[in-house]
A = this chain, B = another copy of it.
């Protein structure tokens, strides 16, 4: 076992795209748990688009990470030492201990994981926050009906890939949008979407229209920008637009040039009687048991495919987050901080 904790702190608030120098790697001695505490070793760290928001101090739904503080993030950890009666060494837990190799916890925010789950990283993806985001947003806001058309942005990503597959299970026609031919092929051939369009190729709007001959009933939004603009005119009467992310905007330093299209958007909301609703996963915390039951079952039945993009080593996390915000990842990004088996 290492003798020092490595951790990555926020060195400065990024302007636009984060730079490697906005992060700093630090080492400190491994702490010892006090009464009621456990010492955790991080096995897996999840990287997710929301982290860009935490690096900024613009008002949002969560507090920003302070300068010099450890970067926030969901983790799967092993209990190394415990002075807390609820946890024993070798327990595996879901935690939110951030970008560091070790952390102390009072146990309150930990959830024990089934030690048989392999890989354990699934608890950060398809069986974790991104999976629950897809499940709850699609079913509670999108409410897909058989025969409806669902469009999913970032279709090869952690959330989008599950949104589309669940929509297929519910009987919808599903059209994904992704960046590049490889991702589109994966979405169509492996994930089983009806169609997947490359947003980097010309005339996305025209290709979308061809792929959605009956218009769009649900647009699951986690991207914004040009994809949103291409989909919006094709929404049907009473369409639903759950919004869980806007990755295309996160690095923006200014608003796009005019005209101001807000009146056009509002007119469409009115005349088409759209429902546009933002959410974060914890708004639907009451669905956690349903989600775990349904998605575990679908996984077992082979009805869901899931792809991870594994990054090796904590020190690679900054580079990987920068790439994620550029769409360079292919699948759910997880950082292997330490091997699952000792």
A4 at the interface (CB under 8 A from B): no
A225 and B273 contacting across the interface, CB-CB below 8 Å: no
A245 at the interface (CB under 8 A from B): yes
A59 and B271 contacting across the interface, CB-CB below 8 Å: yes
A281 smallest CB distance to B (angstroms): 11
Q: Which residue of B lies closest to A238 (CB)?
A: B283
Contacts A257-B258, A269-B243; A263 near B249 (Cβ below 8 A): yes
A260 and B269 contacting across the interface, CB-CB below 8 Å: no
Which residues from 313 to 333 on chain A have a C-beta closer than 8 Å to any C-beta of chain B? none
A278 and B283 contacting across the interface, CB-CB below 8 Å: no
B274 and A269 contacting across the interface, CB-CB below 8 Å: no
Instruction: Please give, as numbers and ranges, the residues of chain B lying within 8 Å of A60 by CB-CB distance.
Output: 271
Number of copies of this chain that the complex holds:
2
Chain A 211-230, CB-CB to B under 8 Å as 1, else 0, gives: 00000000001001100100
CA distance A279 to B276 in the complex (A): 12
A243 and B270 contacting across the interface, CB-CB below 8 Å: yes
Neighbour of A274 across the interface among B221, B260, B273, B278, CB < 8 A: B278
CA distance A280 to B256 in the complex (A): 32
A120 smallest CB distance to B (angstroms): 30
A273 and B283 contacting across the interface, CB-CB below 8 Å: yes
Contacts A249-B263, A257-B259, A259-B254; A274 near B277 (Cβ below 8 A): yes
A272 at the interface (CB under 8 A from B): yes
- Residues of chain A whose beta carbon lies under 8 Å from any beta carbon of chain B: 53, 59-61, 221, 224-225, 228, 237, 243-246, 249, 252, 254-280, 283
